């Protein structure tokens, strides 16, 4: 079997095994990777090393799908196409990751607010990614990861809640309780449509218009921007901020993007208005 692609039954078995470990991992429950591999070897005719490498392939697919993965299995992007579909099916049929992510996010919204560090975007890094970005991007596009996150209102709301708490905590810690009192969760109070989610302030009182985009995936998971958000960003270059929250289900991290957006992201039209002649 060495060197041969895994068949459907083998793929389904290892994906199910990986997800069982991942659910425990996200909940903080103990599990033994070696014991899982030994049990799997009794069901599939594969070596310990082959199973471990396939686990790394599953991590890479989950990375492409903008989902958390098992940290101990470093993503390896040379995976077979059948694995993508098997992992995506499992995500659709077992919504556990989203449920775990929501629970973790809810518990962390208050605790993490004062400790959240918002750094520069990955486009400012001098270190190129060590993974095959083209392959990960193809997975994200195939399964429309950006649209999935955009439709996940619970995830988006939890991310906004965290940034509201972070903004208030930051201002209070800096001795600006009056400004903290003025932080406004615009999308919650007024609904979407303003082109930003939160109205906050810099320490000198300068307004900050914050749009929050949240994912459970890694920092380069694609995301949607509406036409209105792009227009508002351009019209308010001095005050508009996009805060990208990532790795949200585990340990929320964030970076900030300022206009012009084209310095950091490639904006791709994804829909068109069709009017009859």
Instruction: Choose the most confident range, by mean pLDDT, from 97-101, 149-153, 226-230.
Output: 226-230
- Residue 166 has which token pair? 């972070």
pLDDT score of 109:
53
pLDDT over 80 at 275, yes or no: no
pLDDT score of 78:
87
Instruction: Render pLDDT for 99-140 as a digit per residue (tens, 0 to 9).
Output: 555 555 555 555 555 568 898 888 766 555 667 788 888 888
Radius of gyration of the chain, Cα coordinates, nearest whole angstrom = 21
pLDDT over 60 at 12, yes or no: yes
pLDDT score of 95:
59
pTM for the whole structure: 0.82
Taking a C-beta distance cutoff of 8 angstroms, is the pair 175, 204 a contact? Answer: no
* Cα separation values, 252 from 1, 68, 107, Å: 41, 11, 12
pLDDT over 70 at 164, yes or no: yes
Q: How many residues does the chain have?
A: 277
| Continuous H helices in 33-75 | 33-41, 48-64
Mean pLDDT of the region 226-246: 95
Q: What is the pLDDT of the chain when averaged over all its residues?
A: 86
pLDDT over 60 at 47, yes or no: yes
Instruction: Render pLDDT for 206-223 as a digit per residue (tens, 0 to 9).
Output: 999 999 999 988 898 989
pLDDT score of 104:
53
Provide the angle, in degrees to the nearest 10, between the axes of the packed helices 133-142 and 48-64: 60
pLDDT score of 264:
82
Which of the four pLDDT bands, split at 50, 70 and 90, describes residue 97? Answer: low
pLDDT score of 208:
96
* Cα separation values, 235 from 121, 196, 228, 264, 266, Å: 21, 12, 10, 17, 19
Neighbours of 131 (CB within 10 A): 17
Percent of the chain scored above 90 by pLDDT?
A: 50
pLDDT score of 210:
98
pLDDT score of 60:
93
Angle CA(253)–CA(184)–CA(198) in degrees, nearest 5? 45
pLDDT over 90 at 10, yes or no: yes
Percent of the chain scored above 70 by pLDDT?
A: 86
pLDDT score of 113:
57
pLDDT score of 211:
97
């Amino acid at each position: 079997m060495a060197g041969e692609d895994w068949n459907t039954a083998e793929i389904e078995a290892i994906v199910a095994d990986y997800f069982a470990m991942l659910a425990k991992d996200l909940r903080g429950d103990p599990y033994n990777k070696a014991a899982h591999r030994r049990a799997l070897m009794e069901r599939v005719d594969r070596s310990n090393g082959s199973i471990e490498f396939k686990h790394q392939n599953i991590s890479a697919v989950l990375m492409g799908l903008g989902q958390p993965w098992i940290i101990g299995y470093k993503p390896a992007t040379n995976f077979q196409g059948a694995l993508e579909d098997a992992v995506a099916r499992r995500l659709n049929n077992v919504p556990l990751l989203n449920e775990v992510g929501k629970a973790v996010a809810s518990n962390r919204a208050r605790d993490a607010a004062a400790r959240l560090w918002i750094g520069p975007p990955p486009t400012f890094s001098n270190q190129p990614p060590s993974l095959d970005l083209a392959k990960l991007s193809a997975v994200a596009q195939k399964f429309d990861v950006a649209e999935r996150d955009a439709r996940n209102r619970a995830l988006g709301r939890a991310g906004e809640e965290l940034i509201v708490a972070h903004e208030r905590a930051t201002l209070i810690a800096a001795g600006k309780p009056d400004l903290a009192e003025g932080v406004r969760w615009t999308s919650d109070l007024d609904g979407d449509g303003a082109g930003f989610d939160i109205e906050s302030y810099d320490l000198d009182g300068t307004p900050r218009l914050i749009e929050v985009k949240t994912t459970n995936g890694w920092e380069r998971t694609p995301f949607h921007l509406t036409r209105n958000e792009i227009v508002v960003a351009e019209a308010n270059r001095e005050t508009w901020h996009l805060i990208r929250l990532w790795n949200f289900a585990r340990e929320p991290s964030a970076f900030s993007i300022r206009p012009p957006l084209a310095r950091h992201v490639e904006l791709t039209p994804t829909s068109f208005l069709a009017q009859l002649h």
